[in-house]
A and B are shown apart, each in its own frame.
Chain A
Amino acid sequence: MSAEFWITQAFNGISYGALLFLLASGLSLIFGVMRIVNLAHGSYFMLGGYVGLSVVWRTGSFLAALVAGAVAIALIGIGMERLFLRRLPGQTLGQVLMTVGFALMFQDVALLVWGGDPYTIPVPAALQGIVTAGTLRFPAYRIFIIVVAVLIGVGLWVVLDRTRVGAMIRAAVDDREMAQGVGIRVPVVSLGVFALGAALAALGGVIGGGFLGVYPGADFEVLPYAFVVVIVGGLGSLPGAMVGSLLVGLLDNFGKALFPELSYFTLFAPMALILALRPTGLFGRA
């Protein structure tokens, strides 16, 4: 196992972690503000990918696909939150079952509309190359994913930490009732966060569609990863989602490369152990 192997695998792990961050940061925010365990979050990823695919087919524009995927799925998220999930405050089991119900329906609708064949979203020529550094070769598209994740991570951090809206969101995370009491319109904040989380997942779906592809079953395939990230990092914590994504991306890649038979085990077992020792995750608060 040469240094090359380690560097390449680490790079792959980091770029996969970057994609996971897009998916998981939204899930984490949604949980933080609304305490909703959203099992339909993987569906947003998959549907985002499919919408993006259709838009690329029609318009040929990758950028349009990103925007359309994010907007369309944000609208679905708004509908789900406003019409259904809002009726179940504090009912964890009810939320779980309801979001699974939506996930199953989305799965079937996707099958109905886009069929059962896997597709890959065509990416712009500028992102198709390979960047070489000495003997090492890095696909440009994976570098693009890392850049997007960093930009979104920084953007989220600035908004959450430096703006008035961010302060309102943080207040809603910390203490819903007090936030409501000081005049923050928590239901509106919730709706906004839910839409943002869904849009981020859809963005991940379109971007992921460029190298993982878009296919039936992608929803329940990425969902456990998103949950691992959020759980390891701590529910509702943005730094937790960043660290968790990197950790999970690396663990997954090295696990698959080094112990192919135990690769999921090497991913989920450390997570279970972290949870057993720190039930609130690495960065979470009770």
Chain B
Amino acid sequence: MTNGAPRSSPGPAAASSGLTAPATLDRKVVAGAVVLALAGAVAPVLPAYPLTLLTQAVIVAVLAMSLDVLLGYTGLPSLGHAAYFGIAAYTVGILATERQTGLAGCLVAALLLATATAAVFGFLAIRATGTYFLMITLALGMVVWGLAFRWVSMTKGDNGIAGVPRPELGLPWSLAAPLPFFYFALLAAALAWAAMGVLVRSPFGLGLKGIRESESRMRALGYNVWLHKYLAFVISGFFAAFAGVLWAYYNGFVGPVDVQLVTSVETLLMVALGGPGTLAGPALGAAAIVFLKNFVSVYTKRWLLILGAVYIGVILFAPRGVLGAFSREPHSAR
């Protein structure tokens, strides 16, 4: 097999013996909720800079989890995932600065546009497998990057769109302040995490895992493999777009850097680092990379060197990801 997704979770055989599933599910949900509650509890006492980073980590975690639906659960490594994230961010940026559109309008427009793009791109990409899937998603991602970079009248090109205002919700707290915005992002991320968690545990999600383990077997069992993969692609794009909306508001700036190849690859690294097919793992991977990038760049100018070494080290020493390495789930029978 050429798709590089490490096989860390049980697949259909183990999933069908659902006796232990509720226990592990509860434990994972509790652990996740504890982490979220902890983040929420420490936020008020954090200094400004770590709080900013924590907000960033929470948003990027949604992006990493969205890619995990595609890479970890379905086994499709996309090299153009930043496209949907970026299209949503650009939509928010353009609407909020030029039309003064509010949160609801921006959210709906961004999700619609990015998901529609994922629907078209998925249609083109899904028939390719292995390296060719990697290549075509790279190409499609470059299409979006090319537009962001060169379609100056719409996107302001390399300068990007600056001064995206935080949304006004009519609450007593202004989201322009760091702490309320952190809680806003945390709530949104928790919703996205819950939705994706439900999705991957649903019969549809188990179908995706089955396809990851053996496409031909799933086809023989009567599953519509193409449709499963296609829907996973579109759903993954939808949640990436959700992260993109949050990002545009958080950063106040949208530029070609948000849709470039390196951003897509970095998201892949977060998933690989945390452990594909675990949702929580990629979220932690995202947080780790965000903190690493920002803290290392404070202490040394050579942070790219260190980030590059992290890429290589992860692949050499933790190919199943950090969570994957400690995962007690048995390897599936091949």
- B partners with A: yes
- A interface list, Cβ under 8 A from B: 31, 35, 37, 39, 84, 87-88, 90-98, 100-109, 111-112, 220, 223-224, 227-228, 231, 235, 260-265, 267-269, 271-273, 275-276, 279-280
Chain A min CB distance to B271 (Å): 9
B84 sits at the interface (CB 8 A): no
Query: Across the interface, do B131 and A92 meet the contact criterion of CB distance under 8 Å?
Result: yes
Q: Which residues of A contact B127 (CB under 8 A)?
A: 276, 279
Q: Which residues of B contact A108 (CB under 8 A)?
A: 302, 304-305, 308
Chain A min CB distance to B137 (Å): 10
Number of interface residues of B (CB under 8 A): 51
Interface with A: B10-18, B143-151, B191-199, which one?
B143-151
How many Å lie between the Cα of A261 and that of B152 in the bound state? Answer: 6
13 of the cross-chain contacts (CB-CB < 8 Å) are A93-B268, A96-B134, A97-B311, A97-B314, A98-B311, A100-B262, A101-B308, A105-B308, A105-B312, A112-B302, A264-B143, A265-B147, A275-B124
CB nearest neighbor in A for B79: A96
Interface with A: B1-9, B111-119, B203-211, B233-241, which one?
B1-9
Given known contacts A261-B153, A263-B146, A264-B146, A93 and B3 CB-to-CB distance under 8 angstroms? yes
Binding site secondary structure of chain B: helix
Binding site secondary structure of chain A: helix
- B interface list, Cβ under 8 A from A: 1-5, 71, 77, 79, 124-125, 127-128, 130-132, 134-136, 138-140, 142-143, 145-147, 149-153, 260-262, 265, 268-269, 272, 302, 304-305, 307-312, 314-316, 319
CB nearest neighbor in B for A267: B146
How many Å lie between the Cα of A107 and that of B146 in the bound state? Answer: 22
A-B pairs with beta carbons under 8 A, tally = 156
Choice from B4, B151, B260, B304 contacting A92 with Cβ under 8 Å:
B4
Chain B min CB distance to A77 (Å): 16
Q: Which residues of A contact B309 (CB under 8 A)?
A: 101, 105
Choice from B132, B308, B315, B316 contacting A103 with Cβ under 8 Å:
B308
Query: Across the interface, do B315 and A97 meet the contact criterion of CB distance under 8 Å?
Result: yes
Query: Across the interface, do B261 and A104 meet the contact criterion of CB distance under 8 Å?
Result: no
Q: Which residues of B contact A109 (CB under 8 A)?
A: 305
How many Å lie between the Cα of A154 and that of B194 in the bound state? Answer: 58
Chain A min CB distance to B95 (Å): 20
